[in-house]
Structure 1
């Protein structure tokens, strides 16, 4: 930003930078286009009928995203029609909404690309969960990802909306449904993956990330309750349109000229963000302009089966099979504890490490015993402490003792060790 622009927008920075971030040059560009949208003084097109010579004037539109409600609605209409006719497969879908805690939302305000990096982490987490619970690692999950930065009152609330296929596609095109929606494990996997990201980006250190893992209410939430049938295409497009909606709804906005106040009604019927809120016009304007994305920032992504490259490869390989409904195969039913047992496999998908691989030889590891007896636990821990102390001092190592600890009662003492076999 030039010195002239810094001087011009210094009052805005002094008043709103603390809560809504510093003034960005893209905001001035988009605001100027929005003020000229639909105004004939800024240009128009003449529309005439050659048969009856009737004509009218059509004012130019700004075509701004996430600022002009009219132009954004036109974008959504064209986009949802393309989703219905071209992109979405004839399979069930599910809406997945992922929320991050308030402590990370401030980082997204000053580091705009962070939300996009979290979106990629969310796509990998959802894909890994579906692959793990179905038991098929080659499944391609179709994801239409929309990033939202606004809440119910147009406040700063960055979160992620996903329209996800309710399962995945095999390499031959067969669709396998998502068997179990584990609402406890998926948020935990998403939380650990995001914390690993912020540590890698040096936003948090290891101790801060470990502290967030101990919080009972961490602020990470995943909602997967909205399901869409493969036959209900109208509901699927409405759901996608809601995922990419404009931050402000004009039907819920009123302006009192006498009091010079803006009243905005929330779309929530209950909760802390329900009801109406009255704000100063400049305060509300700063709240709305903060949602304008920077130039070049992608607000809608397509991952997995819906990514551009796989779709192009499928069209080239089988152009006639593009409109053919895929064969839907139900996934095998899981036992109530099977999803929990596959938690290690889910961690392997997310963190790209195998928790059952040997750290030295990278060979397979297995569970050899479950230690529950108190005396055996004490003996093993005492041996480990003695071994660690000797290795620290560099002294000679001695074999582990077979004597029972003396701090337990006689009833808890283990029997003497039997002589080794001949």
Structure 2
């Protein structure tokens, strides 16, 4: 049984003493949105700017999430007839911690119980230069095209390393597209959980798993160079990037200089989006001494032209608990309420999950700029942020053989 299912079982209706109704209006995030979102919206309207409707709905629904006065379901125990009121949730994907945490637990349970076979799984993380983060956020269809390039490159590498061809073997991956960084910045990047090997058909028509060795630093470096070249070439063909012998620049379509473009640009580059300090770098706290990261031949991370490819985390076939923790980590919500606090003068202080190399441990926002950062994190509607490839793809003829659910 998965960790998520264990957690659900521990909060069964019969254990009424351990149940506490979620009260979002008591959280700092809710209070900040309630107090400052109207002023943020009004300040934009005063400049003739407007948020897209789906972002406005994200804020409005957050203020109604978990509130009984906006709707609830009555739950009754068939044995003891005890009743409980359960408030409706917003089910939004942007920054609601409650709905994000539930989605995290459900996603991890699904992947462990129904998708990943008991084979070694390696996490590959690809992050992009600032310009490409902006483009991927602005053009959701581009995320899929870039991800296809990434999957083809990495899967071809694994298949060749195993000694097979693409016609005789397949691998598989599940990708969770994250849009946020640890500083609440807009940072579109890919967390890809790859089989650490390939499946090939044996003499009896069954799919057999063949493991490959962990990637070396030289292999990662080669892959990072290949990915940067192929992705840049794809964007040039689409007319999104243009470059000459010395420079590369973005080509935005006419009419794209709107409110969301400004919010995305400020968030990607760690700059203040609104207010008198607009355009300046976000204020940070450096409470630790800086450190220098030294790459060596045993490193599992490679960097090239702003691209970063990391493959240092993996779970063995028997480490299902570790794999589920990894699944929960990559599907976690954008905002952690535990790391959110107010300073003595009313500014918003957010703690980084891991300190930066220069010793930065916190970022500081004015309340209106904090709302702007939340707005930039909201994905467009009907954009799937979880993608399945290879033997895990819905149309794969091998899916029924390799997945625990045994469904094609």
The verdict on a shared fold, with TM-score over 0.5 as the criterion, is: yes
Shift in alpha-carbon separation, 1:218–1:112, aligned structure 2, 3 A: same
Shift in alpha-carbon separation, 1:210–1:167, aligned structure 2, 3 A: farther
Q: Which residue in 1 is equivalent to 2:74? A: 46
Shift in alpha-carbon separation, 1:13–1:302, aligned structure 2, 3 A: farther
Q: Which residue in 1 is equivalent to 2:164? A: 136
Correspondence 1:235 to 2:269 = no
Greater C-alpha Rg: 1
Specify every segment of 5 or more residues in structure 1 that has no aligned partner in the other structure, as ranges.
Answer: 1-7, 326-422
Correspondence 1:88 to 2:116 = yes
Q: Which residue in 1 is equivalent to 2:351? A: 265
Work out the CA distance in 1 between the residues paired with 2:360 and 2:324. 26
Work out the CA distance in 2 between the residues paired with 1:209 and 1:24. 36
Shift in alpha-carbon separation, 1:255–1:103, aligned structure 2, 3 A: same
| Contact 2:224–2:309 (CA under 8 A) maintained in structure 1 | yes
| Contact 2:391–2:399 (CA under 8 A) maintained in structure 1 | no
Q: Which residue in 2 is equivalent to 1:149? A: 179
Correspondence 1:105 to 2:110 = no
Q: Which residue in 1 is equivalent to 2:234? A: 197
Secondary structure, aligned partner of 2:244: helix
Work out the CA distance in 2 between the residues paired with 1:67 and 1:49. 33
Q: TM-score normalized by structure 1? A: 0.66
Q: Which residue in 1 is equivalent to 2:198? A: 168
Q: Which residue in 2 is equivalent to 1:11? A: 43
Shift in alpha-carbon separation, 1:9–1:187, aligned structure 2, 3 A: same
Q: Which residue in 2 is equivalent to 1:294? A: 380
Work out the CA distance in 1 between the residues paired with 2:310 and 2:240. 26
Shift in alpha-carbon separation, 1:158–1:180, aligned structure 2, 3 A: same
Q: Which residue in 1 is equivalent to 2:306? A: 219
Report how far residue 77 of structure 1 moved. Answer: 1.2
Shift in alpha-carbon separation, 1:238–1:104, aligned structure 2, 3 A: same
Q: Which residue in 1 is equivalent to 2:61? A: 33
Q: TM-score normalized by structure 2? A: 0.68
Work out the CA distance in 2 between the residues paired with 1:210 and 1:236. 42
Secondary structure, aligned partner of 1:23: coil
CA offset digits 1:243-274 (Å, max 9, x no partner): 12111111101135x62221100011342584
Work out the CA distance in 2 between the residues paired with 1:42 and 1:88. 39
CA offset digits 1:365-417 (Å, max 9, x no partner): xxxxxxxxxxxxxxxxxxxxxxxxxxxxxxxxxxxxxxxxxxxxxxxxxxxxx
| Contact 1:153–1:273 (CA under 8 A) maintained in structure 2 | no
Report how far residue 74 of structure 1 moved. Answer: 1.0
Q: Which residue in 1 is equivalent to 2:392? A: 306
Shift in alpha-carbon separation, 1:291–1:113, aligned structure 2, 3 A: farther
Specify every segment of 5 or more residues in structure 2 that has no aligned partner in the other structure, as ranges.
Answer: 1-39, 250-302
Work out the CA distance in 1 between the residues paired with 2:246 and 2:92. 38
Work out the CA distance in 1 between the residues paired with 2:139 and 2:111. 30
| Contact 2:153–2:227 (CA under 8 A) maintained in structure 1 | yes
The count of aligned residue pairs is 305
CA offset digits 1:180-209 (Å, max 9, x no partner): 511211101111111111111111236369
Work out the CA distance in 1 between the residues paired with 2:121 and 2:323. 8
Work out the CA distance in 2 between the residues paired with 1:207 and 1:248. 40
Report how far residue 135 of structure 1 moved. Answer: 2.8
| Contact 1:152–1:273 (CA under 8 A) maintained in structure 2 | no
Q: Aligned to 2:220, which of 159, 168, 183? A: 183
Q: CA RMSD in A?
A: 2.8
Work out the CA distance in 2 between the residues paired with 1:269 and 1:151. 12
Correspondence 1:24 to 2:110 = no
Work out the CA distance in 2 between the residues paired with 1:234 and 1:54. 35
